[in-house]
């Protein structure tokens, strides 16, 4: 995805417009207006509107990927890296908060929703792996299946980002994200009845069912 300067400007404007007023607000007229050029000028840079939306979506992913600093991290640490990278990414590009997890916005275009689904699945895939490893490693409680763990973590992350976006960035997303992560850790850590002592005992990955 090598974008020219103009193309990047267009994508940025499109993102901002969508964040401000939904896809209804993402019109060629508005985008070109935001750049101070005429509508036909846009067509020098993108084949059509669909192309703009598509690049916009693909860009999410690249931004997201780029935001993960430690790509080697796995297990609980990998999940933490992933989750926190979400917060810093969105905090640094607020319009993303309104658009990033709003698949329904692009529902009308077959190709786009396919793109988004694909992106989601890919993310889910690598997260599943991390959850599995974290559970095996005893970093995460063994009594909850991986698909549920995914929901327990990503659900709150998405909701926090949405709340931030809808509140017009009323709070510090990164800080609140850290708080959320701490809370998540409390709930997901192996439920040590002896309160953290002799952690090693729990390493074996107990009672796990392979249904997930």
Partner DNA sequence: TATGAATGAGTTTTCATTCAT
Partner DNA sequence: CATGAATGAAAACTCATTCAT
Which residues are at the interface with DNA (CB under 7 A)? 4, 6, 26-30, 32, 37-41, 43-45, 48-50
Which chain residues interact with a copy of itself by CB under 8 A?
21-25, 98-99, 102-108, 117, 141, 143-145, 148, 151-152, 154-160, 162-163, 166, 179-180, 183-184, 186-188, 191-195, 199, 205-207, 209-211
Q: How far is the CB of 186 from DNA (least distance, A)?
A: 46
> 175 touches which of DNA, a copy of itself, none (CB within 5 to 8 A by kind)?
none
Q: Which tokens hold the place of 4?
A: 């020219």
Rounded to the nearest whole angstrom, what is the least distance from the CB of residue 27 to DNA in the complex? 3
Smallest CA-to-CA distance from 55 within 101, 123, 111, 93 is with 111
Residue 106 CB, nearest approach to a copy of itself (Å): 8
Indicate the DSSP class of residue 57: H
Q: What share of the chain is helix, strand, coil (3-state, %, to 5)?
A: 70, 0, 30
User: How crowded is residue 184: how many other Cβ atoms within 10 Å of its Cβ?
Assistant: 18
> Do 45 and 6 form a contact (C-beta atoms < 8 A)?
yes
Shortest Å, Cβ 19 to a copy of itself: 9
């Amino acid at each position: 995805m090598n974008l020219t300067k103009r193309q990047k400007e267009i994508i940025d404007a499109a993102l901002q417009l969508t964040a401000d007023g939904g896809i209804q607000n993402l019109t060629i007229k508005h985008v070109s207006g935001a750049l101070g050029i005429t509508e036909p000028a846009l067509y020098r840079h993108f084949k059509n509107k669909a192309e703009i939306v598509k690049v916009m979506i693909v860009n999410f992913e690249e931004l997201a990927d780029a935001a993960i600093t430690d790509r080697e991290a796995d297990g609980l640490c990998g999940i933490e890296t992933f989750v926190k990278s979400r917060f810093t990414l969105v905090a640094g590009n607020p319009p993303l908060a309104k658009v990033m997890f709003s698949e329904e916005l692009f529902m009308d275009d077959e190709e786009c929703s396919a793109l988004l689904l694909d992106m989601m699945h890919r993310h889910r895939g690598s997260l599943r792996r991390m959850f599995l490893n974290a559970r095996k490693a005893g970093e995460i409680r063994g009594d909850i299946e991986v698909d549920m763990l995914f929901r327990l973590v990503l659900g709150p992350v998405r909701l926090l980002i949405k709340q931030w976006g809808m509140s017009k960035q009323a709070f510090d997303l990164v800080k609140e994200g850290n708080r959320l992560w701490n809370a998540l850790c409390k709930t997901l850590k192996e439920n040590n009845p002896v309160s953290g002592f002799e952690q090693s005992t729990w390493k074996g990955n107990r009672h796990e069912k392979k249904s997930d």
